[in-house]
Structure 1
């Protein structure tokens, strides 16, 4: 059954704030008159959009609650009852907020004096008024089974050079070796295998946590051999795959933990980090720093598990995938993609690796819905992407963007200009869309696809190989 990951802030309920015995509190009552009888989470946020770290408490049934250990400040309260035993939220789970959804009422603490009477009524979620913390699984556009030769190994990560996908695996715990598979993303064929020696010798590669492609070479987070002695140093470094050597090493800054994703926009590196009091993403030019910075470009409630760069944006995964403007660190929107999908962005698709199934899956950003249950996307302009895969047999994906509501036609032509198929001919709102074309029964050759939207027209070539 499809259901949603619990909002990550609630899983912290048992461990995140047990140490806080000082401070003041917010208390009230949770009421509910429906039939469900399950545990209830109540959480306080310092951000009205709920983008801050949550301070949660759990109660076993409707009634009194108290959130203790709060500092003076302004808070916003939400509550959800879980209808499942595995802490996942369903569309129909009871929920409520203090105030109204979209305009939460602030609760102000000052002078160390607690506030009482912050009562919340839970209502059952419905199709028309769903639990706003519900988020459904998004099905991949396509899933590729990798060869059995890539199955063994542990601690995998994937990266891309813009053409191929590279899958890294450590051979086994404490092994002095690993492998990096160069994979054709159109058919999951392994083009080449790099055999990596992993030893803590001077300028060696001790281990790899994540990889990215930066200025024509691979860089990694992990451990590298101490250039001046024995042992390893944790940090960021360039990897020579053929020689199993590290260079351009950058140790960690003070109190920095590299526990998140790793990405590049071609000019800068981005890494998910944690410090004693902060989580987020650091941005740096490795030629201009002597260590991995500790001051995040953007602070998040947790270090992003995955990072990737594509379509001029940085994409970061916590419980969903956030679209981030890389110059300022501004979060544009959050999408209902699986968090693992933000590991690689290639050919207008997000890619993830499933270690258990040994598969690569790709996801489209087209109309997947954002983390606030919206199905719109603020597009900057008209754009028609190159189809993927290309060449293809027998199905391919065509992605396009329209910045405003338009009557849209998407047609397929043969080499003589004859219309083979009309895939779309309808009014569409602004957004990013992905359309499949099934070329069953057609002969191999060159075809063309044309997008018309308002006064915009663009044509691209695609190749069918039967």
Structure 2
């Protein structure tokens, strides 16, 4: 059952058997212009990404940039999504244009291509951590979160030059831990993590990276 799309909707074609011609049988995903797609090896659902034309008649964005959406073919409903953590503004034409999954479905390999530098991410769907493949890290670094100030989500980027036990935690200004974003052994590389502060009050927070014997802290501001 193939899918084709235009900036308004996705058309669904089907045929009763392999010897028959395809016929237009339905349409779905209104206002989504599909940039690329892939089948989930576990659920059997279709994952789709949207380009810049995913807006309604008033020009309001319906589908989020850099987000993949899981489409249940049987129910014709969006049942899940994941968004790549982005450490800086993306060029207007840089979108997810390739996707593949590990056999167990836990890891998504996503390619981004556009006027900015091309990159491939390995995204862990369980932890929400995205690793930029092919990036060679020389030092331990903890970047300023982006955006900052933020409301309610932001991305924290860090690099580690060697395999390490890594924790990334967030504290309020009196030193109370409010979130643990990473707590695992990680290989060398560059990683992006999304932080959702929907349940926190406005204010300044400290985020701390511990990797091996290295400890780095930085501050960010939540404005609601």
Could you state the TM-score of these two structures normalised by the residue count of structure 1?
0.24
Could you state the TM-score of these two structures normalised by the residue count of structure 2?
0.47
| RCO higher in structure (CA 8 A, sep ≥6) | 2
